[in-house]
Amino acid sequence: DVVMTQTPVSLSVSLGGQVSISCRSSQSLVHNNGNTYLSWYLQKPGQSPQLLIYKVSNRFSGISDRFSGSGSGTDFTLKISRVEPDDLGVYYCGQGTQYPDTFGAGTKLELK
Partner 1 sequence: QVQLKESGPGLVQPSETLSLTCTVSGFSLTSYSVSWVRQPSGKGPEWMGRMWYDGDTAYNSALKSRLSISRDTSKNQVFLKMNSLQTDDTGTYYCTRGDYGSRFAYWGQGTLVTVSS
Interface residues toward partner 1, by CB under 8 A: 35, 37, 39, 41, 48-51, 54-55, 58, 60, 92, 94, 96, 99-106
Least gap, CB of 90 to partner 1 (angstroms): 9
- In the complex with partner 1, the residue whose CB is nearer, 60 or 66, is 60
For the chain, the DSSP string reads ---EEEE-SEEEE-TT--EEEEEEESS--B-TTS-B-EEEEEE-TTS--EEEEETTTEEPTT--TTEEEEEETTEEEEEE-S--GGG-EEEEEEE-SSSSPEE---EEEEE-
CA distance 40 to 56: 8
- In the complex with partner 1, the residue whose CB is nearer, 1 or 17, is 1
Least gap, CB of 16 to partner 1 (angstroms): 28
Least gap, CB of 15 to partner 1 (angstroms): 25
- In the complex with partner 1, the residue whose CB is nearer, 23 or 80, is 23
- In the complex with partner 1, the residue whose CB is nearer, 14 or 58, is 58
